[in-house]
Each structure stands twice: as C-alpha cells, then as structure tokens.
Structure 1
Amino acid sequence: MSDPPFGFSMPNDPDDESGRRSGDSGAGGPGGGDPNMPGGFPFGDPQQMAHMLRQFADMMSAQSPSSGSASGSSGGVNWEVATNVARHSVSQQGDSSVGATDYAQVQEALRLADLWLNETTSLPSGVNSMEAWSRSEWIERTMSTWSRLCDPMTSRIVESMSQNMPEEMQSMAGPIMGMVQQMGGMMVSQQAGQAIGELAREVVGTTDVGLPLAGEGRAALLPAGVEKFGEGLEIPADEVRLYLAAREAALHRLFGHTPWLRSHLFTLVEEYARGMSFDMSGLEEKLGQIDISNPEALQEALSGIEGQGLFQPKDTPQQKASLARLETTLALIEGWVSVVVSSAVDQRLPHAASLAETTRRHRAAGGPAEHTFATLVGLELRPRRLRDAAALWTALQEARGIEGRDAVWEHPDLMPSGSDLDDPSAFVHGQMDAEAAQIDISQFTGEPPQSGGPSDSDDSSDRDTGEGEGGT
C-alpha cells in the first residue's frame, strides 16, 4: 500500500464507515483506508480527501486574505505576501528611514560620480533620478522586477507540486487540484519573501544583481548598505560612497542605452526555468510531519521551509546551456562596469584598487544575488568569468578606443561569446577584420559599410546571447 501523497497525516472521519473502528488503523494508515478497495486507494473515502483539501485551502486563505487578487498573484506566487514577509524580515532587525543628511550625501555622490563617467565611456548619462532608500523602500520599489525574474521559476515549482502527485490523487482531486497549487504558491511566496528580505540587508543600491531592479534611470543607494559594505575596510565613508555611486551610475548608463539587454537577461532566465526538473522528495518528507488538522503545525512547517532548499532543481542539459549563457552575459556586464568605473576613479579615489577588489570578491564568490536565487530555486547568478570579461573589454578599448569598445553593445549579435573570453585577442582581431572587410566591399559597391546585425555573419547564432550554444 502506498503512502498518502506528500505523507499527509489525515484525521479519521467519524462519519466514514471505514474509520469508525478507532482501534483498527489497518493497512490504510491514518486515513483508515480499505486495503481491499480497487487499486488500493489509500485515502479511504474520496469525500474525506476532498474535505481535507478544502480545509487546507481555508487555512491558506486565512494566512493570505488577498491571495486571490490579480495584483498580488502571478506565476502561482502571491507577491503581496512575499513583500510583507520581506518587510517583516528587515524590520525585525531595525530599519530606520533615511535622514536628510544621508539623502543629500547620496545625491551628491551619484551626481559627482556620473560626471566622472563622462570621461570613460561614450554612453551618455542614464540617471534620471537620484535617491536614497531604506531597506524597506528597496523591497517595495524592486519587488516588481523580482516577480518578473522569479515567476518563470516559481511557476515551475508550483506546477511540479501537482504534476508529481500520485495518479490516484490527481484523478480524484479534479477541480480542487487548484487548492494543492495554492499550497505550493503560499510556500514559495514565503520562501521568496524571506530570501529577498535577506538580500535587502546586504545590497548597496539598485544594481547589485547585474541589472537595475527599480528600472532604468532610477539610481539609488542604501546608506545602511553602503555603511555595511565599508565595515572593516578602514576607508573613509565618503570614498566608499563615491565608488559605489560610480558603479550604480555606470550600470544605469549601460542599460539605459542598450535597449535589448534587459529583455535578453529575462529571456535567459526563462530559458533556464523551462529546463527545470524538480526532485520533490524533500518536500514530501517535510510535509509528512504535518498534521493537516492542526493549523499551528502547518504554520510552523511553512515558516521552517525558507532557506532549506526543498525545491532544488535537477541539472539538465538545457539548464546547463542556459546557465552558461546567463553567466557569460552577467560577466560581460560586470566586466564592462569594472573597466569603466576603474578608469573613472583610479586617479580620484586613493583606495580605488581595494574597493574594486572587495567588489570583485563579493560578486565572484557568490554575492547577494546568488544567495537569493539559490535559496529560492537553485539558480546562481555568478559572473564567474569577471576577470576574463574585464580583460576582453580592456583589450577592445586598447585596439579600438572607448567608442569602439562601447559600440559592441549596439546589438546582441556583436557581443562576445563564452569562448571569446578564452581568447580576447582573437575576438578583438575578428572584430577589426570584419570591419576592414566591410570597408573593402564598400569600395567596390559604392555602398556605405553596414552596421553589425543578424545578417552580417553566418555564425551570428553561435554568439552567447541565448540564440545558440554559447561556450563557457
């Protein structure tokens, strides 16, 4: 006889004939199931199971009164719940509002750093507003981006919870299967909120994860995060603030003037999610300890799920390929920012080298982004080849100048692939050879050289942009 799905312990129904003999649990387990039933259905009475699921749904609704609102739910996850959990997480450890002095210091740092960047990149300023936030404000103003990033993955988790249930339960549950998915959505909502709350205690601005979480042009720093970043460095606070402001402003320039980049990152995350396959055994073991008739036990179990990695995906070839492309793109972004910022601050900030090395360690060793995604679903956003990417952008600048370096961002088909990070000089010379070939052709045709695009090269699909098989 198989165990109940997810190992739920169900109370005997006094109105159920098979459960009236309290001293005879039989082979059917705590549900009082009849082992002689066709197929050995383990739940005794389907009506009892339906009643249990409805009871569970009522508990879920009690925990989240707005769980059915369109504005709060997407991809099976209630982001209003996630936001509340995240805010509660940071408020527990103290989260004061930003004072007028801190606000003015952040604005001045962003303004000055943005001016410095004019000398080191051909991309114009991408900053439209300069703000200073508390951790709670960061949660509120970045949650819409988190929901877009996480929905492809969390929806796969919730989907897997029903798909991996035994056939007997799926066929019996029918229209109430949505209640089971509600359970999954609530659990993932709480886990997502906890992870993002932990991230809020570590970030310094809106761009820590490699893209502007509050949208292009809205630059902001968290004074509390800046202070934490500088702890133990023995570097003046204003110097730390200026360096981090330069990174914030540089990434806003890149995304503000590279229209395809944001959607490209989201596409890579979606590709990763499509390749997910989950091992739900950890979840079943956890839920096996729950007495469904005890709401307090349920709440305790749900609260204990965050951070335990119960939804770790299995590795699949599709996942690995998508992750390689994602890591390459993140490395190229981070490498470009580090080169541009270093050029802007090296002669202005005495401790620029130390600050750059501290930042590299944070990003390459698995900074805030990795912890958030790994806790949620196992996706690690590490720019593993940061130094290789920085070397490539430096070589490109030396060969083609600042404008030539930045022109590579004009189209995804011009971007380096993972294999190009192995040999930056080959990529640089390849770019120059292609440019020379266009000039030679124009001499015979009388037509101006064509800008780079999808039709310029037969192997453009091999670039590490999510269109082909990028190397690592």
Structure 2
Amino acid sequence: MTATTSTRHPGSGRRSPVDWAAAGEAAAAIAPPGPAMTREEIAELVAELRDCAGLAVDPVAETAQLEAGPDAGEVLVVDRAGWARANARSFGHLVDPVLARALERQRLEKGRDVPDAFLGLSRALNAAETGGLLAFMATKVLGQYDVLAPDGGRLLLVAPNVAQVEREIGAVPADFRLWVALHEETHRAQFGANPWLAGWFRGQVTDLLDDLLADPGSTVERFVEGLGRLPDILRGASDDPTGGAAGDGTAGGRRTPTGLVDLVQTPEQRARLDALTAVMSLLEGHADVVMDEVGPSVVPSVAQIRARFDARRRGTGPVDRVVRRLLGLEAKAAQYRDGARFVRAVTDEVGIEGFNAVWAGPDALPSPAELREPSTWVARVHG
C-alpha cells in the first residue's frame, strides 16, 4: 500500500508543516515486521482474517441490533507498514486544513510567512517524529475502523499483531481472529448504521485541534509550565488507571494529566476533550460488550480469550507502561472498561432497544457524568 498524501494545504500554495507521506514511509521502515512466519502461514492468516471479517457481520447485527449497511467501507487486512501509511494519510487529511488555518493566522498577525527554509526543516523533523509515533502504534493495534479516511471509513485488521497476541496468550487462532473481527465490525456497524456519527466525530476532533492551535505561543507556554507535572503522568496519582480514585482523572482536588496532550490544554479544552472521550468510551465499551456477548456458539473459547487478553493488558513491562502513559494510552485502556460498564448498566435497565437510543443524534450521547452514572442518562433520555 502506498500513501498518496498531499503535502500542500488545500486551497493554497503553502506546503504542510508535516510531510505525511514521509511520516508513513518512516514508520514503515522503523516498525518491526512482527512474529516470524512462513509465506504459507502469512497467506493463511490473511485469508482467515478476511473470512472472519465477513463472518462477524451477522453476529454483530443480531447482538447489537445494528447493521453496517453497504456504504460502511471496505475491509483491509494490512501489515504494520500498511497500517502506518494508511493512518498517516488519514491524519494528514484531517490535520492539514487545521495547520493551514493556524499558519494563516500567524501570517496575518506577524505580517509574514514562515520562511521556506524553516518550513522545510520543520517538515522533515515533524515527519520523523510522527513516523516514530506511528511505528510504535503500529505494533499495538489489532484492528481499527478508520473513520478519518479521506475516501470514507474502512476497517483495518493488522495481521502480524493478531498473530503475535494470539501466540502470547495461547488462544485458539480461529477463535481469536473472529473475536478481534467482531470488535472492529461493531465499530463499522456503529458508524454505518448512523451516518451522522462520522461527520460529528470528525467535526469535534477538528474543532478541538483548531482551538488548540488558535494561539501556538500560549500552547507552548502551557507545555513548558506543565512539564513540572510530568512525574504525575508517569506514576499516576492512584492505583486507578484513569489517574483518579473516582475514575474521573482527579486526585486530591487536582486533575491528574493523563498524557502529554493534557499539558497543553486549557480547562475549557480539557472539558471538551473529556466530552469527546466519553463518546469514545461508549464506542469502545460497546464494541467490547458485543464481541463478548456473541457467546460460545460463535467463539467457543470467548471467556478464556477475554480473561487471558485482559491479563496480558495488565502485564505490560515498565518501559511499555511509561510510553503508554506519555501517549495517554493508559487512559484509553480505561475507556474500554468504563464504556462497557455503561453499556451493560443501561442494557440491564432498558434493554438493547432502549440502549440504542444513544445513536439518535449528538444530544443523545452520554456526557462524562452520565458515563459514570448510567442511570442519569436513562432518566434524561427515557424519562
């Protein structure tokens, strides 16, 4: 798969501060290929993952009572390099217009453009840094519904990562591969059955980025000031993965940063990100519930897979944990748990049809407080 990301801002002659194609290629070169496999094993893995993507459609539709529909996007089985290139392209499509607006604001305020020589150096450095991040992430992701893809959402299954994890936890390969496909198909159904959701999600992310880059100088100042709280990110403030005993990222009356991005946000921006995180928790938790509730008739060893998979998630090494905290991935892991708890609580109270009212539109999505107290969402939406 070859990236074709434009390196110029839409509607202008200025190049983007990030060479996204170069970032994708850098990640592809850096990321390790994955577990050792013969050519025949790779072909079998890829073919089975494609089959699993098809086999997951009906169980998800029946369990979630959501159907992705014909326009929910294609299914791709990729290696780590392919995942990195695809995400570099998607990020560029989302971020470049935001960067263009930030550069234009800077030009108007200072009366001059960023010098081409500086921009060229910045592009190279940013591509290298972004490539390093994508390379790390490419070794972690089992699958993804890429809602940011410029030509519409699509489902990606990362073959070497699936093979690596199934070996590490001693899972039955056929069961584990279908289990992973069920999770990603649920995301495909969430967005495919509710066409408004993708546009709303992209809009929220774009608005947050626009706001964050509205005053780059202040953003840098907040980052420098926030570096003093870096130890809080690395060690956490409690045993709770979210950094707060109540699961809300607070400790001792002070909100604990959950990643580097937290250091550059104003309180208002954090509140907006918390609201978006609540929705992401809903999406991830719902997919986790569906992948488990299809039951042993579809995935015979589902209970064993879940137990071993969760144990593996808790057992990451110290270096991996530090990197995950810096990138905010520990907070993402909590999304699965918090979202699943919300989904199960609401379904127990009002059933699947009652829960599916959450997809009616933006106003029906849970707030952070409602995610923590599902009964308040039920009372608001169902009366």
* TM-score for the superposition, normalised by structure 1: 0.58
Task: Spell out the pairing of 1:56-455 with structure 2 (5 A cutoff).
Answer: 75-90=16-31, 99-126=42-69, 129-151=74-96, 174=112, 177-207=115-145, 211=147, 218-273=154-209, 274-275=211-212, 277-279=219-221, 313-356=263-306, 382=332, 384-433=334-383
Cα distance change on mapping 1:266 and 1:130 into 2, 3 Å: closer
CA contact (8 A) 2:52 2:178 kept: yes
CA contact (8 A) 1:205 1:221 kept: yes
Deviations 1:390-448 (A, max 9, x none): 23222332333323322321211111111112321232233322xxxxxxxxxxxxxxx
Number of aligned positions between the proteins: 328
Structure with higher Rg: it is 1
CA contact (8 A) 1:342 1:352 kept: yes
Deviations 1:181-226 (A, max 9, x none): 333232112111221122222222233xx85758656334222110
AA partner of residue 82 (structure 2):
E
CA contact (8 A) 1:73 1:79 kept: no
Task: After TM superposition, give the deviation of residue 247 of structure 1 in Å.
Answer: 0.7
Worse-superposed segment, 312-321 or 145-154 = 145-154
In 2: Cα distance, 1:74 partner to 1:328 partner: 35
AA partner of residue 53 (structure 2):
L
Task: After TM superposition, give the deviation of residue 114 of structure 1 in Å.
Answer: 1.8
In 1: Cα distance, 2:201 partner to 2:308 partner: 25
Identical columns (%): 24
Secondary structure (helix, strand or coil) at the match of 1:345 reads: coil
In 2: Cα distance, 1:249 partner to 1:389 partner: 17
Secondary structure (helix, strand or coil) at the match of 1:278 reads: helix
Cα distance change on mapping 1:187 and 1:156 into 2, 3 Å: farther
Task: After TM superposition, give the deviation of residue 250 of structure 1 in Å.
Answer: 1.0
In 2: Cα distance, 1:193 partner to 1:429 partner: 46
Task: After TM superposition, give the deviation of residue 124 of structure 1 in Å.
Answer: 1.2
Cα distance change on mapping 1:68 and 1:421 into 2, 3 Å: closer
In structure 1, the gaps of 5 or more residues are 1-65, 283-308, 434-472
In 2: Cα distance, 1:241 partner to 1:361 partner: 18
CA contact (8 A) 2:83 2:138 kept: yes
In structure 2, the gaps of 5 or more residues are 214-218, 226-258
CA contact (8 A) 2:66 2:189 kept: yes
Task: After TM superposition, give the deviation of residue 319 of structure 1 in Å.
Answer: 2.5
Cα distance change on mapping 1:189 and 1:102 into 2, 3 Å: same
Q: Match for residue 451 of structure 1?
A: none
Secondary structure (helix, strand or coil) at the match of 1:206 reads: strand
Cα distance change on mapping 1:220 and 1:379 into 2, 3 Å: closer
Q: What RMSD, in angstroms, separates the aligned Cα atoms of the two structures?
A: 4.3
Deviations 1:40-73 (A, max 9, x none): xxxxxxxxxxxxxxxxxxxxxxxxxx99656998
Secondary structure (helix, strand or coil) at the match of 1:118 reads: helix
In 2: Cα distance, 1:111 partner to 1:414 partner: 30
In 2: Cα distance, 1:358 partner to 1:267 partner: 37
In 2: Cα distance, 1:267 partner to 1:358 partner: 37
In 1: Cα distance, 2:341 partner to 2:369 partner: 14
In 1: Cα distance, 2:152 partner to 2:306 partner: 24
Secondary structure (helix, strand or coil) at the match of 1:119 reads: helix
Deviations 1:268-289 (A, max 9, x none): 333433235114879xxxxxxx
Secondary structure (helix, strand or coil) at the match of 2:65 reads: coil
CA contact (8 A) 2:183 2:287 kept: yes
AA partner of residue 247 (structure 1):
H
CA contact (8 A) 2:148 2:202 kept: no
